[in-house]
Amino acid sequence: MEFTRQLSDKLSVEQVKIELLNTAYGNNSTYLAKLDPRTLFIWYLFFGIFPWFIHNQAILIGMFVFMIVTTFMAKVSPLIVFILVLGLLGQGGYLLIASWFFGGDLSVILPLMILTLKLSIISLASITVFCSMDPEKLSNGLLRIGVPGQVSFCIAYGYRMLPSLLEEYHHIFLSFRLRGKAPDKKGILYWRSIIYFSKIAVLSFYPLLLSTSKRARTTVEALETRGSFYAFNHSEVKRIKLAHLSFRTQDYLFLLFSTLYIIGLFMLGSYY
């Protein structure tokens, strides 16, 4: 019972909201968070794309180890890592069952493991990069590389609003439970309760979408009143806003180390 209570506390909506806030705003003191966002974009451009074109197992394992180290350096929330592992296991298990159902055998395990390894590298790289940038830094980095101001703002705005949307969804869900009536009999393996909560979970999305659209409209009107859309497309305003972004020694060292590490992996992979 004690373990169940502790697990329930860890998976509560309030705890999930705290973890999301820490992910978005609580990693500013890490080494990766002090890098220029363009450095992280360049680094992610390689580790988010090139693993698809690499088939050498030794190289992939080396990249996976490197991703584990960078994820640890970024101080990623254990909840985020747990969700990632759960998704990878579910994806790999689904493909394994589907392959066996259509006549596959044990020979499909190795290709699925390689696919899961590639997905793990790309997913960990994504988590490392985006957990190392708060919404404002992400928005500034996107503006600096030429992304339109409206697009960069929308990404940063969605990033900021995620914890609030999660909390609002929880309140709507609880209001449905308060006004509804749970099944008197849970059924075998709680199937009636599962159907009841699944129905509430779906119905809770409709008021959330309405509330989100109203909030987005209010935000857009406030931005238009303050002249933000003029600032998005004015080069002088962009120059002043992004003047603090610059490549420093630590950016070059990080990219140099990553490059040398990858070169070493390819040299090692040529022997295996």
Name the phi and psi angles at 230, rounded to 5.
-70, -40
What's residue 2's pLDDT?
Answer: 46
Q: What are the CA-CA distances from residue 267 to residues 17, 56, 262, 271 (Å)?
A: 44, 11, 9, 7
Could you read off the pLDDT of 212-232 as tens digits, one per residue?
Answer: 878 777 777 777 676 666 666
Calculate mean pLDDT across residues 172-188: 79
Identify the residue with better confidence: 27 or 63. Answer: 63
* Residue located via tokens 């075998």: 188
pLDDT of residue 1 exceeding 60: no
Q: What is the DSSP letter of 14?
A: H
What's residue 20's pLDDT?
Answer: 67
What's residue 176's pLDDT?
Answer: 84
pLDDT of residue 64 exceeding 70: yes
Closest CA to 173 of 196, 156, 141: 196
Q: What are the CA-CA distances from residue 7 to residues 1, 2, 86, 99 (Å)?
A: 10, 9, 16, 34
d(CA 245, CA 264): 31
Q: What is the pTM of this model?
A: 0.76
